Amino acid sequence: MTALAGWENFYVIAGSSAGALIGLQFVVITLIADMPMRGGQEQAGEAFATPTIVHFGAALLLSAILNAPWQRVGSAARFLGDC
């Protein structure tokens, strides 16, 4: 079980962070969708949400990669270089 020992903390950190941040983003987008819109503002919600979701996904992926229990730092650097 020593090979899997480092992954326990990874799943605790990555899982709880991802769950909290995804939940928060869902709440914010839901609240924005419920706001009354004036003329010309209908498209602003989509223009705001799409880049935010892409940026959030990239930041979450990067943090998960860096928090993984790599054997050597070079492995993580090589993986990030390939992305």
Instruction: Taking residues 59-80, report their average pLDDT.
Output: 83
Query: Sorting pLDDT into bands at 50, 70 and 90, what band is 51?
Result: confident
Residue 57's Cα: distance from chain center in Å?
4
Percent of the chain with pLDDT over 70: 82
Instruction: Taking residues 30-59, report their average pLDDT.
Output: 72
How high is the pLDDT of residue 41? 60
The structural domain count of the chain equals: 1
CA angle (7 as vertex; 4, 8 as ends), nearest 5: 100
Query: Sorting pLDDT into bands at 50, 70 and 90, what band is 48?
Result: low
| Backbone phi, psi, residue 72, to 5° | -135, 155
Residue range of the domain that includes 77: 2-82
How high is the pLDDT of residue 44? 60
Sign of CA dihedral 70, 73, 76, 78: negative
- What whole-number distance in Å separates Cα of residue 73 and Cα of residue 31? 41
